[in-house]
């Protein structure tokens, strides 16, 4: 499978991965033949790219950190909790706990602990899926740090609920495409306190999960909010959550910004470890992040184009790739290359294949 921007789909392509809407309902099923009018449906929901199966990418499979079924069920659990609170002011944590345990189980069963970033979030469920992504990342970091099962579950629950207060803020502020006013920004900043105040009395939540909700926007130099405390007064779980929160936010497309690439995001976050983010935890964090998602198209330094086939924890920046096209000769080249072994080759940047080779080559390859 190959990750392709919607504007470069012309009809007839085969969808390689199920696509869900903001409520967890199936929008387009795997193996569906893409039609042009699907583009508008997906664009309306803020989806900018999808996985397809084609001649170039046949046999390349993306292994999710957690199955779609668990992700969709977790999404539903958060929505049900928010809906119940809005209508009754009551909090029920049981479904969130079950979702957290399933997330932990699924990740522990995954032998290759690597996170592939492919922004397929819809604009209407960004905050909900952001909570799930942060939960997954927190658990992955916890595993790398040697945490026990009990601590992993606390990290998972705290990650799911870290932005609970934000889910209660009006959409017109959350999704405002223009710059927020000072008043609106202060409302956004209150989401940590709102979430904590609502959930602090819950006997089913541990102090670790609660502190993640309250302190995930604190910074090690004391410049964060809501308390303005520095590193020694920020629990490790909140420092883990802060890093995972920043990463998922930066690599996500929003109504007011485009997503940063993984490489640019990690570079920016490296700078933030000087005074904002925990440097030791960040070292662990970056070891679980694939620089280039499986199925992404990349340009190599010898002017050839390749698709990422496999990422490995020990060689994050040197995946196994499938070289498919030589720009120098304008010829197809099908060969597998391990960039860890081929020391003279390296990835220059992620690209869109359709912007580098003539569309007739793609059509010819599709027919071939």
**pLDDT bracket for residue 120 (50, 70, 90):** low
User: 93-103: per-residue pLDDT in tens?
Assistant: 999 999 999 99
User: 284-318: per-residue pLDDT in tens?
Assistant: 999 999 999 899 999 999 999 999 999 988 888 89
Work out whether the CA dihedral 85, 90, 91, 92 comes out positive or negative. Answer: negative
Shared domain for 219 and 312, answered yes or no, is no
pLDDT of residue 77: 92
Catalytic member of 121, 166, 210, 276? 166
Is the pLDDT reported for residue 263 higher than 70? yes
Q: How far apart are CA 134 and CA 272, in angstroms?
A: 18
Q: How far apart are CA 17 and CA 62, in angstroms?
A: 9
pLDDT of residue 48: 80
Shared domain for 240 and 191, answered yes or no, is yes
User: 311-350: per-residue pLDDT in tens?
Assistant: 988 888 899 999 999 999 999 999 999 999 999 999 999 9
Shared domain for 261 and 144, answered yes or no, is yes
Is residue 59 situated within a structural domain?
A: no
Shared domain for 241 and 199, answered yes or no, is yes
Domain that holds residue 234: 68-286
Whole-structure pTM value: 0.90
Average pLDDT for the chain = 90
Shared domain for 116 and 259, answered yes or no, is yes
Domain with residue 146: its CATH number is: 1.10.3210.10
Is residue 61 situated within a structural domain?
A: no
CB 130 within 8 A of CB 251: no
CB atoms within 10 A of CB 289: 21
Task: Dig out the tokens for 272 from the structure.
Answer: 């933030």
User: Is residue 166 among the annotated active site residues?
Assistant: yes
State whether residue 218 is helix, strand or coil: coil
Shared domain for 187 and 128, answered yes or no, is yes
Task: Dig out the tokens for 140 from the structure.
Answer: 């992955």
**pLDDT bracket for residue 166 (50, 70, 90):** very high
CB 8 within 8 A of CB 352: yes
Shared domain for 186 and 282, answered yes or no, is yes
- Percent pLDDT > 70 in the chain is 93
Shared domain for 163 and 86, answered yes or no, is yes
pLDDT of residue 177: 81
Where is 5: in which H helix or E strand?
strand 2-5
pLDDT of residue 45: 76
Count how many domains the chain has.
Answer: 3
């Amino acid at each position: 499978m190959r990750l392709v921007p919607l504007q470069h789909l012309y009809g007839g392509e085969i969808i390689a991965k199920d696509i869900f809407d903001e409520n967890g309902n199936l929008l387009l099923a795997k193996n569906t033949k893409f039609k042009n009018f699907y583009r508008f449906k997906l664009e309306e929901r803020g989806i900018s790219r999808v996985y397809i199966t084609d001649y170039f990418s046949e046999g390349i499979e993306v292994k999710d950190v957690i199955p779609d079924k668990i992700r969709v069920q977790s999404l539903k659990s958060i929505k049900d909790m928010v809906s119940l609170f809005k209508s009754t002011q009551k909090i029920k944590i049981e479904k969130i706990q079950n979702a957290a345990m399933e997330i932990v189980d699924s990740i522990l069963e995954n032998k290759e602990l690597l996170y592939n970033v492919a922004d397929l979030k819809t604009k209407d469920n960004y905050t909900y899926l952001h909570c799930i992504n942060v939960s997954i990342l927190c658990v992955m970091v916890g595993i790398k740090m040697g945490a026990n099962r009990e601590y992993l579950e606390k990290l998972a629950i705290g990650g799911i609920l870290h932005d609970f207060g934000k889910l209660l803020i009006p959409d017109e502020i959350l999704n405002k495409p223009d710059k927020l006013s000072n008043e609106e920004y202060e409302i956004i900043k209150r989401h940590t306190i709102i979430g904590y105040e609502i959930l602090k009395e819950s006997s089913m939540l541990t102090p670790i999960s609660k502190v993640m909700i309250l302190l995930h926007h604190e910074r090690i130099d004391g410049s964060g909010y809501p308390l303005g405390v520095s590193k020694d007064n920020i629990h490790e779980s909140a420092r883990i959550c802060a890093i995972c929160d920043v990463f998922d936010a930066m690599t996500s497309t929003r109504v007011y910004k485009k997503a940063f690439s993984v490489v640019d995001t990690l570079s920016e976050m490296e700078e933030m470890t000087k005074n904002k983010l925990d440097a030791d935890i960040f070292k662990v964090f970056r070891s679980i992040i694939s620089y280039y998602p499986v199925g992404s198209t990349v340009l190599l330094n010898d002017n050839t184009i390749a698709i990422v086939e496999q990422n490995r924890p020990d060689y994050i920046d040197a995946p196994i790739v499938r070289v498919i096209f030589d720009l120098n000769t304008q010829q197809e080249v099908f060969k597998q290359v391990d960039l860890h072994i081929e020391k003279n080759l390296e990835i220059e940047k992620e690209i869109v294949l359709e912007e580098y080779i003539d569309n007739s080559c793609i059509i010819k390859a599709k027919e071939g």
